[in-house]
Amino acid sequence: MTNAEIAQLFADIADMLEIQGEDRYRYLAYRRAADELGQYPGSVEALWRDGRLEEVPGVGKTIATKIDELLSSGTLKFYERLRQEVPPSLIEVLRVPGVGPKRANLLWKTLGITDLAMLEAAAKEGRLKGVKGLGAQTAQNILKGIEALHSLGDRTLLGTALPLAETLLDALRQAPGVVQAEMGGSLRRRQETVGDIDLLCAAGDTAPVVQFFTELPQVRSVQSAGANKATVILHRDLSVDLIVLPPASWGSLLQHFTGSQAHNVELRSAAVAQGLHVSEWGITRDGVLTPYADEAAHYRALGLDWIPPELREAEGELEAAREGRLPHLIELGDVRGDLQMHTTWSDGTRSVEEMARAAQALGYEWIAITDHSRGLGVTQGLDVERLREQRREIDAVNDRLAPFRVLRSIELEILADGTLDLPDDVLAQLDVVVASVHTGQRADRPALMKRYLNAVHNPHVDIIAHPFGRLLNRRPPMDLDFEALVDACAETGTALEINGQADRMDLNGGQARYAMQRGVMISLASDAHHPDGLKVMSLAVSTARRAWLEPKHVLNAMPLDIFLAWLQR
DNA sequence: GCCGTTTTCGGCCCGACTGTTTTCAGTCG
């Protein structure tokens, strides 16, 4: 079973226990374990074979035993029994905004509702009003919630949400009395997709800011609005939360609403042990609240270094902050070159020189031009002859733009039979070889791994591009033995890419961190097809930061001479 | 069910908003 499948099963268990009204801490323990299993970078099955399941945070003796039963027999009796007691389809009802475990249980017991369709029918027929505790307004809200569920659908790409949030922040900064305005939540942590947008403001008088926000032209409907907080839906089907507090609490507010939830729970649990109580208003000691206007001061008061938002996932950052050993994360300004882009020689829309000048304007010292090789038919890929012609053009551009350097490269197709698209003697003449899989991605794991390992072991291949081949909301990742791929890369000195295309973000943060920890170098790529596309390097850097990467882990942070030396490794 | 700078037992983050069961439960982040 995949990590995701195991995690889903335990998440379902948590939901069913919660609907049953089980002890809060019991179902929270299952949910925590599910989250940790889902984001565990290695293979949970492999951990299980080694008898090391309890190394996963949140997995203790009981859950480890259940995973063992599940993986050795294929089923879990405890789960099967729960499915008899609680209709599994009731879990989807929990996704409706305004319906939690208590109401799901109530609707099931009183009206026999076991899935979303039945809930929708009952709401439309006015049958909810008869249930104790549900008024006409609640029935209306549930209907609206179901509609929202149908229309919202996919999560929003970071690359889509960021500019949208910037626009809203610009507007908020014009609101009466606003002295601070920033994004929070998963957006500030630069998660690759976000479920909603969180905006934070500081203002002396908070209510007028909330009102100003609910009246912005982008707003389609207002879900809730109070003195400090509002939730709205934008015309483009995206939910936005705004929280406004006085400036004295700005730092505490930022900390609280940047999350993640797991980070906050861990932070506050540790604080409680010291007799401190943390909220968005500040830190309470002996019943006295101290607000923090500065986020770093808020962390300092808890004995912690300021933690970059990208690290706030309860993945060891609190311990590192306590011990003063947080990483010095890579920044966009550390990037000296871009390791994947395309020109009119394949599927790009601009010449080598136009791309080079655009990169120069961004302050880069070097780039690699990586047009597709011939195997990818649709993109007019390069064969040996056209590659030779392109080389003359690149040489000429280098003469004109020196000391800026355009490296001769290629995005080399790893073919379905495992061979590479160009012969070794041709690859040997290139500065950098970036290899990738675009076809036959649905092949099974052994077939895919055979192809990848063959490419990694070729002495000319330097980088594997977008290793998983996923497209967010559109195409699942390939079924790889990632640990084996990382081992092979570590052994051969091959780098793995973080592709910054908004719908790729491949590797993701957890995967890149795992590779880094095993000594694999990481390459950052815009994969640009036109000059404007170079800017998504910022998304690749965000992902690199989520992976705890420092400049020393990243090929793009190398000055040209050092990078050229690395290529000779 | 998990876990340990105080703990192998007894805790487990905290506040805003809504609607309804007028004093608070349910939901959400």
Q: What is the pLDDT of residues A231-257, one digit of tens each?
A: 998 988 889 999 999 999 999 999 999
pLDDT at A301: 93
Same domain, A25 and A8: yes
Q: What is the pLDDT of residue A465?
A: 97
Question: Is residue A368 pLDDT above 70, yes or no?
Answer: yes
Cβ of A239 near strand B (distance < 7 A) = yes
Give yes or no: residues A469 and A518 share one domain.
yes
DSSP A433: -
Q: Do A306 and A313 touch, CB atoms closer than 8 A?
A: no
**CA–CA distances in Å: residue A272 to residues A255, A265, A266, A278, A293:** 17, 10, 10, 8, 21
Q: pLDDT value at position A153?
A: 61
What H or E segment, with its residue span, contains residue A199? strand A197-203
CA proximity to A505, closest of A485, A481, A527, A529:
A527
Measure the CA–CA gap between A234 and A161, rounded to whole angstroms.
12
Shared domain check, A338 and A474: yes
Domains held by chain A: number: 4
Share of chain A above pLDDT 90, in %: 74
A102 within a domain of the structure (yes/no)? yes
Radius of gyration of chain A (CA): 26
Tokens of A298: 């808020």
Specify whether A476 is located in the same domain as A336: yes
pLDDT at A377 over 70: no
Angle, vertex CA A179, rays to CA A177 and CA A185, nearest 5: 115
Each residue's pLDDT tens digit, A69-93: 999 999 999 999 999 999 999 999 9
* DSSP H/E element including A244: strand A239-245
Q: What is the mean pLDDT of chain A?
A: 92
Q: CB–CB of A48/A120 below 8 Å? A: no
* Structure confidence by residue, pLDDT tens digits, A99-112: 999 999 999 999 99
Please choose, from the candidates A253, A331, A340, A257, the residue with its C-alpha nearest in 3D space to the C-alpha of residue A292.
A253
Q: Which residues 284-303 of A interface with strand B at a CB distance below 7 A?
A: 284
Straight-line distance from CA A52 to C1' B4, in Å? 20
- For helices A537-546 and A158-172, the axis angle rounded to 10 degrees is 100
Predicted confidence (pLDDT) at residue A151 exceeds the cutoff of 90: no
- Helix (H) or strand (E) segment spanning residue A211: helix A206-214
pLDDT of residue A376: 64
Give the neighbor-by-neighbor strand order of the sheet with A495-499: A411-413, A434-436, A463-464, A495-499, A522-525
Out of A291, A322, A353, pick the residue that ends a domain.
A322
Tell if A141 CB is < 7 Å from nucleic strand B.
Answer: yes
Q: Is the dihedral of CA A320, A321, A327, A331 positive or negative?
A: positive
The structure tokens listed for A178 are: 């606003």
| Residue A152: band (very low, low, confident or very high) from pLDDT cuts 50, 70, 90 | low
| Structural domain range at position A305 | 254-322
Looking at the fold, whether A336 and A217 belong to one and the same domain comes out as no
Cα separation, A31 vs A9, in Å, equals 10
pLDDT of residue A128: 86
Which residues share a beta bridge with A413? A436
SS3 A432: coil
Is the CB of A281 less than 7 A from some atom of nucleic acid strand B?
yes
Confidence of residue A133 (pLDDT cuts 50, 70, 90): confident
> Closest by alpha carbon to A55, among A37, A78, A30, A74?
A37
The reply to whether A466 and A494 lie within a common domain is yes
What's residue A134's pLDDT? 85
Whether the Cβ atoms of residue A510 and residue A472 lie closer than 8 Å to each other = no
User: Whose C1' is closest to the CA of A145: which nucleotide?
Assistant: B27
A126 and A263 in a common domain: no
Q: What is the CATH number of the domain that holds A284?
A: 3.30.210.10
Choose one of A185, A217, A245: the last residue of a domain.
A245
Q: Are A523 and A556 in contact (CB under 8 A)?
A: yes
CATH code for the domain of A131: 1.10.150.110
Confirm if A361 and A567 have CB atoms less than 8 A apart: no
Whole-angstrom distance, CA of residue A460 vs CA of residue A426: 10
Average pLDDT over residues A268-295: 91
DSSP code, position A524: E
Q: Are residues A421 and A459 in the same domain?
A: yes
In the block, residue with structure tokens 């609403």: A257
In a domain, A443, yes or no: yes
Q: What is the pLDDT of residues A464-517, one digit of tens each?
A: 999 999 999 888 889 899 999 999 999 999 999 999 999 999 999 999 999 999
The C1' atom of B24 and the CA atom of A185 lie apart, in whole Å, by 29
Q: What's the token pair of residue A404?
A: 């800026």
Map tokens 């109580």 to a residue. A277
Domain limit, last residue, from A101, A121, A152? A152
How many Å apart are CA A494 and CA A467, to the nearest integer? 12
The length of chain A, given as a count of residues: 569
CATH number assigned to the domain comprising residue A417: 3.20.20.140
Do residues A228 and A244 lie in contact, with contact meaning Cβ atoms separated by under 8 Å? yes
CATH number of the domain to which A184 belongs: 3.30.460.10
Region A438-446 average pLDDT: 88
- Estimate in Å the CA A91 to C1' B6 gap, whole number: 39
Closest nucleotide (C1' vs CA) to A228 is B16
Q: Is the pTM of this model over 0.85?
A: yes
Q: Verify that A233 and A353 share a domain, yes or no.
A: no
pLDDT, one tens digit per residue, over A52-67 is 999 998 999 999 999 9
Residue A38 maps to a domain:
yes
In a shared domain, residues A27 and A131: yes
Task: Name the 3-class secondary structure at A35.
Answer: helix
Q: For residue A327, is it within any domain?
A: no
**Which strand B bases fall within 7 angstroms of a protein CB?**
1-3, 5-7, 11-21, 25-29
> Does A229 contact strand B, using a CB cutoff of 7 Å?
yes
| A54 beta carbon to strand B: under 7 Å | yes
Do A418 and A502 share a domain, yes or no? yes
On whether residue A283 sits in a domain, the answer given is yes
**Residue A208, CB, less than 7 Å from strand B?**
no
Q: Which two tokens stand for residue A34?
A: 């599910």
Contact A382, A345 (CB under 8 A): yes
Q: Nearest nt (C1') to A60 (CA)?
A: B2
* A412-432 pLDDT tens trace: 999 988 899 999 999 999 999
Above 90 in pLDDT, residue A42?
Answer: no
pLDDT band at A401; cut points 50, 70, 90: very high
Residue A394 in domain: yes
Q: How confident is the model at residue A378, as a pLDDT? A: 60
- Residue A459's pLDDT is 96
- What is the token pair recorded at A202? 């500081």
**Cis amide prior to A260 (ω within 30 degrees):** yes
Whether A527 is covered by a domain: the verdict is yes
The answer to whether residues A172 and A299 belong to one domain is: no
Cα(A436)–Cα(A494) distance, integer angstroms: 13
Tell which residue, A358, A329, A331, A325, has the closest CA to residue A343: A358
Measured CA to CA, the distance from residue A146 to residue A214 in angstroms comes to 22
